[in-house]
Structures are given as structure tokens and as C-alpha cells.
Amino acid sequence: MSGSGRTRPRCRKGTPMLEGLLTPGAGALYDAMVRTGPLPLDDPRAEGPEMRELFDRGFVRRDYRDDPVIAPMEPVRAVDHAILGAQQQLLEQQRQIVAARQQLDVLQAVYRAANGSGGNAAVEVLTDPRRIGSLSLELCLSAREEFLTFTTRHFKRKPDASTVMRLPEAVTERGVALRNVYERAALEFEGAKEVVDASVAAGWTMRVAPELPMKMVIADRHSALVPLDPSGMEGALFVRSPTIVASLRMLFELVWSQAVAVHGPASQPRHGLTTTQAKVLDLLATGMTDGAIARHLDVSERTVRRHVQGLLEALQADNRVAAVFAATRLGWLG
């Protein structure tokens, strides 16, 4: 061993590089690229699953300045980005744990009702679809402060703009706040844009979440309506217990705080973005495909891809996941 050569730092023997952030194969490939330099695009490793993982996690980028190559990102930037992603996953897991605990009272009430125990008058099991439908409207009319809803992908029939709930003037004049969270899949159907625009015009504030556990309706702090199964076909639970309603409201607020705003036709530019770019960024953050975004904005997929590319350049991001993280850190997402 030469005494004049500089010893390169190495991972502890037997420990995979960046364990917990990358799979062993991807970690080894990134380590090799950091030590030996970029890979040409025709290198066999450029098309492997390990390289795809490095692109998805933001550890490498394509460089076309001279000969096209795949270059490693600077470790401090790449690892910082990966740690942010891991932290986001932990926060999401924590949110799911909290939400599960908050649904415990509801599940307990369902169990007691189904098994004939407890006889709690504050919780009623409904099986008549007509009663459930009319009760949802009754709850909306009874609201004095807020009417909150979850909308999932489980439809009895495809929504259209004419199905949007418009309230009598007596309700809107009271200043009732209308908030709805859509499950992402519920906005990926033909005509979703018209439904959202009609909802916003009717006074609703809309957001999108990647996934929702169930449909839900909450009126103020006194009543809630939740389904007995995800589709809502098996019946519903009419809840008037203040404790359970408070738990469901907390679940709604947790989901609302992490959901992405859906802006109406009059959305204003933000942070130097055009109105369309801002909408594309919002919908991109929900995980929508280019096709779904195009249908929602009534533009072509080619236009959506052009806007996405512009956002990647503006955010100095190599992929969509990195762009969403960057936009979140910069406060570009409402």
C-alpha cells in the first residue's frame, strides 16, 4: 500500500451504502458513480432497475452539455432530498395511525349496533338508500357554520355538473362554509372539470387527496354520516355523539391539511407561474396522470407535458417527485 496516496472514505464493511434510503443494488451503483464518474447512456446499467430507482429518488440526472451521460447528483443534495422523502413517508404513516385511532369510536359503535349491544341512541344504523340520501341533504340544510364532505371514487353513477349540491339562499346567507375533499381517482373521469367548476361556483372549497378511507358528511359539530363499507352500498351510520363527531372532524382536518387545493376558473397566478401552470402543479402534486390532468383542464396531453417540463426547469428538478418536494419547500403549493 502506497503511503502517498489519499485514502477514500468508505462505508463500514458489510453495511450497504445509504441503507434505508436506497436498495443495496441502487446504493452500490450510486457509490460507484460517485467514485468513477458519469455513465454514458449506452452503458448496460443505464436501463436497469437500480438506475430507475436512482432517477426516481433524485440521485442521478441526465447531462447533455457535451456527450450525453447520466451523472450522479452531489451527495449532500441527493441525500437531503431522500431524507425529506423518508420524513414525508413517516409523517404519512403517523397520520394514518392517528386517523385509525380516531375511527376507533366509530368502529366500536358499528360493532355494538351490529351485535345488539349498548343501544346507544346517539348512533343509528341506516339501510334504506332513500333515507340516507335525504338525510345527507337534511344535514346540509341544518348546518350553521360548516358542512364538510369526503368524496371517494365509489359512484352509483358517474357525476355530472347537474348533480352538484346547490344550497337554498337561506343556507348560503348564513355564511356556511362548504368544504369537500375529493379522492384523486374521483377526479380522473371524463367531465370532472365541469363538476369542480360547478362546485366552486356553488360556493364549495375543493381539495384533492391521493386516497380517502371512506365517504363522509359532517354538519357542524352535531351530526355525521359515514358508510358501513367503502362503497356506501351496505348502509350508513348516522352519528350524533359529540365525541365521535369531534373525532371525525379531526380526521377531516388532518386530511384537509395535507390535501392539495383545487382552484376554480378564476384561479390567480402564484409565484410567477401562469394560471395553467399553477393548476398543473396542484394536480401534479396529487399524483394525477398527464391524461387525467389534460381532461381536468380541458387541454391536450402534449400541453400538459410542456407545462410539466417548464415546472421541472423552474424548480430545477429532475423528475416529478423532486418537483413536488421542491414546490412544497418553496411554498408554491396551497
**pLDDT band at residue 16 using 50, 70 and 90 as cut-offs:** low
Report yes or no: 235 and 125 within 8 Å, Cβ to Cβ. yes
**pLDDT tens digits, one per residue of 192-249:** 777 777 778 778 888 888 888 888 999 998 889 998 887 667 789 999 898 999 999 9
Residue range(s) of every CATH 1.10.10.10 domain in the chain: 17-116, 275-330
pLDDT at 155: 61
pLDDT at 259: 82
**pLDDT band at residue 334 using 50, 70 and 90 as cut-offs:** low
Q: pLDDT at residue 49 above 90?
A: yes
**pLDDT band at residue 139 using 50, 70 and 90 as cut-offs:** confident
Q: 264 vs 16, which has greater pLDDT?
A: 16
**pLDDT band at residue 266 using 50, 70 and 90 as cut-offs:** very low
pLDDT at 225: 92
**pLDDT band at residue 36 using 50, 70 and 90 as cut-offs:** very high
DSSP reduced 3-state for 29: helix
Mode of pairing for the β-strands spanning 204-209 and 177-183: parallel
CATH number of 275-330: 1.10.10.10
Q: Give me the count of residues in the chain.
A: 334
**pLDDT band at residue 1 using 50, 70 and 90 as cut-offs:** very low
The secondary structure element, H or E, covering residue 14 is: none
pLDDT at 69: 92
Average pLDDT on 30-56 reads 91
pLDDT at 234: 79
DSSP single-letter state for residue 323: H
**pLDDT tens digits, one per residue of 84-132:** 777 777 778 777 776 665 566 556 555 555 555 444 568 888 888 888 8
pLDDT at 217: 92
Give the domain 123-261 fold. Endonuclease; Chain A (3.30.870)
pLDDT at 32: 92
Report yes or no: 143 and 168 within 8 Å, Cβ to Cβ. no
Segment among 48-57, 149-158, 237-246 with least mean pLDDT: 149-158
Residue range(s) of every CATH 3.30.870.10 domain in the chain: 123-261
pLDDT at 279: 81
Provide the residue type at 8 as one letter: R
**pLDDT tens digits, one per residue of 275-324:** 788 888 888 877 778 888 887 777 888 998 888 888 888 888 887 777 77
CATH number of 17-116: 1.10.10.10
**Mean model confidence pLDDT for the chain:** 78
Average pLDDT on 251-260 reads 87
> Residue 247 burial by CB count (10 A; 0-12/13-18/19+): exposed, middle or buried?
buried
Q: Where are the alpha helices (DSSP H) in the chain?
A: 24-36, 49-56, 75-102, 104-114, 129-142, 169-172, 192-201, 242-258, 275-285, 290-297, 301-314, 320-330
DSSP reduced 3-state for 274: coil
> Residue 154 burial by CB count (10 A; 0-12/13-18/19+): exposed, middle or buried?
middle
Most trustworthy range by pLDDT among 7-21, 120-134, 248-262? 248-262
Model confidence, pTM: 0.52
Comparing C-alpha atoms, which of 210, 173, 187 is closest to residue 263?
A: 187
Most trustworthy range by pLDDT among 11-20, 165-174, 182-191, 275-284? 275-284
CA angle 205/209/212 to nearest 5° reads: 110
Q: DSSP readout, 40-63?
A: ETTSGGGGSHHHHHHHHTTSEEEE
Q: DSSP readout, 153-172?
A: S--SS---GGGS----HHHH
Q: 171 vs 65, which has greater pLDDT?
A: 65
